[in-house]
Structure 1
Amino acid sequence: MRLVVVGGVAAGTKAASRARRVAPELEITLYQEEPEVSISECGLPYFLSGTVSGRERLVARTPEEFARMDIEVRTRHRVERIDPASKGLLVRDLRSGETFEDSYDRLIVATGARAVVPPVEGTELEGVFTLRFLTDADRILRHLKERSPERAVVVGGGYIGLEASENFRKIGLEVTLVQSAEHVAPTHDPEFSEMVERELAKNGVEVNTGSAAEGFYGEAGRLRGVRLAGRCLDADLALVGAGIEPEVTLAQEAGAKIGRTGAIRVDRHMKTSLPDVWAAGDCVETTNLASGLPAWVPLGDTANQMGRVAGTNAATGRDELEFPGALATGIFRVFELPVAKTGLSEREARQAGFATVCATVESTSRAAYYPGTKKVTLKLVADGDGGTLLGAQAAGEGADRLVDVCATAIWGRLGVADLVNLDLAYAPPFGPALSPVIQAASVLSGRL
């Protein structure tokens, strides 16, 4: 029995490893376009500033390590066609340019996501970059070393744009962040986005919201600036972090159904509409557990969890495991401000048709009298019709713990009334006597 996995990084490598554990006799081959099969993508912005030192620290596992598990990994190879009828593959060796045919009994598609590059002039100029893979970071670091840029423009105010802005500042660049939406961190409610914008400004990042990059201009093939509506920004380095989109071309051309979000539609067992083909990771559509609606959740931990399910089921040929959906729980840090979110924001909840009731509290990370205490803000979003918790957002020290509690509560279908009586750990060095979760739930309970 032969299993082929298309794509590595998180979902593909997890699927291959899991398949090997549950089916020791299985023949497994993994194809990956990049030189590295498994990297820690979330560490890339910190690699640029040297916060993470050493390229090898971002390589999670090498092809040699997979070979010791009897998994054949072929990097710099791209699968260009899937023929579901014959279970055939057309593969290109990106080093030689030659193509060859392969076959599978079962197939896992883990093609991930690709960076969105705006359709504007000048994106081919030297000094304009995206940041998705370790090879992208290599190119940026080479540019920093060889060209010694002084002014960077970051296009996009999502996770990558925010983290890159911080790390460019750490190495002394002048940084301007350009965001086409009204606020940065657009998946959060405005009050949290505004906290992020203040933290950026406090640390010397110029923020331009409501401004789209209309083009890049240069001289002798080298970047010199970014053009906005009615304004030009000088720049000798630009990072385009305007978002990502699921890479579904291979699966779509093979006839796989694509969901409402533009990602591959799968069932709870990670099966696609193609026979003996599963999919996992950033290329896949799932369900938002707070809204019940289709969702695209391109996060590393989610990709790993999907890969575990896909790898198990593809290896055994049975529907042994299910992936129930996700809450898109995430966190990022901008300088000294951690910001976390789970489930639905107030805006997202209203768009999903809920009659929302919200409560926001400002509390402290420790007992108010304890040295070193800092402010933390927590917002809870609930369904006004039933009191079900739909989402939470937090900013400040301890935001991760607060949102993790709320994510667990949403997962367990707890209502706001349940949160009021949670039994959580307390001591002055760790938080106030009543957790901000309990404080916010008490306020919310009264409003409900």
Structure 2
Amino acid sequence: MKVIVIGCTHAGTAAVKTLAKLNQNIEITVYEKNNNVSFLSCGIALYVGGVAKDVSQLFYSSPDELTSLGAQMFMEHEVLEVNTVKKQVIVKDLKTGEQKADSYDKLVVTTGSWPIIPPIEGIKLKNILLSKNYNQANEIIEKAKDIQKITVIGAGYIGVELVEAFKLNGKEVTLIDGVDRILNKYLDKEFTDIVEEEFTNQNIQLALNQTVTKFEGNDQGEVTKVITTKGEYETDLVILCVGFRPNTSLLAGKVDLLPNGAIKINEFMQSSNPDIYAAGDSCAVNYNPTGEKMYIPLATNAVRMGTLVGYNIAGQPLKYLGTQGTSGLHIFGWSMASTGLTEITAKANNIPYEMVEVVENNRPEFMPTFEEIRLKVLFHQETRRIIGAQIISKADMTQMMNTLSVCVQTKMTIDELAFTDFFFQPHFNKPWNTLNQAGLLAVAQREETSQKAVHI
């Protein structure tokens, strides 16, 4: 059997390594446009901020490693066309310009995503950069060395992390976003209010609830000003972080896609064409809190899905369990994380929910230090199954979101969470774990509601 893999960042690398280790009889060919594989784009802000000193550590594999496992690696090769009838790909060598056709038995599409570039006047001015791959990370660092004013457009995870990195490097930073608060896809308002207050205290300019309409430049063609629906901001450098779009034009009209182009997959990672597998940012995920297919580009999703592709093609079928979109962030000493639905996304999906909030210290007050935790857990109003949660603290309590991710995936109820077995040790927590406390609060609320109903 011959397998062709298109794209080799997280999902592609995981697929190749898994497939090569499980089945030595399969011929693996990889086509990758870049000259590197497995770059951790989530580490760009740490690299820009100087936390990650050695950029080589942001790669967890290499073409040489994958070659040693038996894969044929064609770096700086772009796949121009996929012929699903002939089961062929047309490939261009980006260094020589030569083209060739190559046949496959199974095709793995792990082409990832690309930053959205909005059609704004002046978008092609110099010093307006993207933040996705290794070369872009190096360009950001080089450009930022000798300038002072930086504007980040997009207040998601990448944008917020870059804002912190630039500020810690002594830059004047403006953060622009079209909605009225930062991180709105991941956290509810009471959580983002904390981070926004921290940004204000750090003298970061927040320009929220406004849309960029134009970029202005100087005679050298370099950006000097960002104009929005509410103001004008002088700048020396702009970083666009407004979201991502799946790279799936090769399969347009050939397999089933979401409206944004993400490839729909089944539980064995196959597209609507059973000989074409997909994983990572190029495809939709099965989102457990709603049961729908959604586009959630995360490295964690990519490596899991890519690994499953390897197992399934190698003849050891494993089902995809879906995702909760669990993610975490560390900003100016605050550790935060979320899993599943927020109140905003629950309402958007017309899901009836209730929620509990716990504000508690992370360990007993007789300990020399302790930190406040804010935890919110959402559960379905009718089934009482846990459907989402968020946490923030100066202490790192983010692993609780991994625990609650398991709870969502296994359809645990909030009442069961109240009495789940967790250890107690004063260095780490209290006799009633914070997660237990959330469950107990929900049980108490239900009892109170029940008693009111009886009296009526």
Same fold (TM over 0.5): yes
CA deviation after TM superposition for structure 1 residue 315, in Å? 3.2
Which residue of structure 2 lines up, in the alignment, with residue 308 of structure 1? 307
Between the aligned partners of 2:151 and 2:260, the Cα distance in structure 1 is 29
State the secondary structure of the residue aligned to 1:47: helix
Which residue of structure 2 lines up, in the alignment, with residue 110 of structure 1? 110
Structure 2 gap ranges (5+) = 447-456
Are residues 1:9 and 2:6 paired? no
Higher deviation after alignment, 220-229 or 347-356: 347-356
CA deviation after TM superposition for structure 1 residue 242, in Å? 0.7
State the secondary structure of the residue aligned to 2:301: helix
Conserved? CA contact 1:261–1:285, under 8 Å = no
One of 138, 143, 159 as aligned partner of 1:161: 159
Conserved? CA contact 1:108–1:314, under 8 Å = no
Which residue of structure 2 lines up, in the alignment, with residue 172 of structure 1? 170
Deviations 1:46-104 (A, max 9, x none): 10121101121112111111111111222211111000111111111222333222111
Which residue of structure 2 lines up, in the alignment, with residue 293 of structure 1? 292
Higher deviation after alignment, 156-165 or 343-352: 343-352
Structure 1 gap ranges (5+) = none
Which residue of structure 2 lines up, in the alignment, with residue 40 of structure 1? 40
CA deviation after TM superposition for structure 1 residue 433, in Å? 2.4
Between the aligned partners of 1:98 and 1:364, the Cα distance in structure 2 is 63
Deviations 1:419-448 (A, max 9, x none): 111221222221222222111221122223
CA deviation after TM superposition for structure 1 residue 229, in Å? 1.7
Deviations 1:111-144 (A, max 9, x none): 1111011210222222111111011101112212
CA deviation after TM superposition for structure 1 residue 24, in Å? 0.3
- Aligned-pair identity in percent equals 26
- The ranges of structure 1 where at least 4 consecutive aligned residues each deviate by more than 3 angstroms after the TM superposition are none
Are residues 1:360 and 2:340 paired? no
Letter in 2 for 1:121: E
Letter in 1 for 2:332: F
One of 387, 392, 402 as aligned partner of 2:389: 392
Which residue of structure 1 lines up, in the alignment, with residue 445 of structure 2? 447
Between the aligned partners of 2:285 and 2:62, the Cα distance in structure 1 is 29
CA deviation after TM superposition for structure 1 residue 259, in Å? 2.5
Are residues 1:321 and 2:318 paired? yes
Which residue of structure 1 lines up, in the alignment, with residue 337 of structure 2? 340
User: What RMSD, in angstroms, separates the aligned Cα atoms of the two structures?
Assistant: 1.4
Report the number of matched residues. 443
Which residue of structure 1 lines up, in the alignment, with residue 86 of structure 2? 86
Letter in 2 for 1:12: G
Between the aligned partners of 1:407 and 1:144, the Cα distance in structure 2 is 38
Conserved? CA contact 1:107–1:314, under 8 Å = no
CA deviation after TM superposition for structure 1 residue 202, in Å? 2.0
One of 330, 339, 349 as aligned partner of 2:327: 330
Conserved? CA contact 2:249–2:261, under 8 Å = no
Letter in 1 for 2:18: R
Deviations 1:178-212 (A, max 9, x none): 01011110112111121221122122211111011
One of 417, 422, 428 as aligned partner of 1:430: 428
Conserved? CA contact 2:21–2:69, under 8 Å = no
State the secondary structure of the residue aligned to 1:419: helix
Deviations 1:9-31 (A, max 9, x none): 11001111111122102111111
CA deviation after TM superposition for structure 1 residue 157, in Å? 0.5
Conserved? CA contact 2:37–2:62, under 8 Å = yes
Letter in 2 for 1:338: S
Letter in 2 for 1:355: P
Deviations 1:352-400 (A, max 9, x none): 2222111111111222232231111000101111211111000112331
Counterparts of residues 64-103 of structure 1 (less than 5 Å): 64-103=64-103
Conserved? CA contact 1:152–1:237, under 8 Å = yes
Conserved? CA contact 1:224–1:234, under 8 Å = yes
State the secondary structure of the residue aligned to 2:184: coil
Which residue of structure 2 lines up, in the alignment, with residue 249 of structure 1? 249
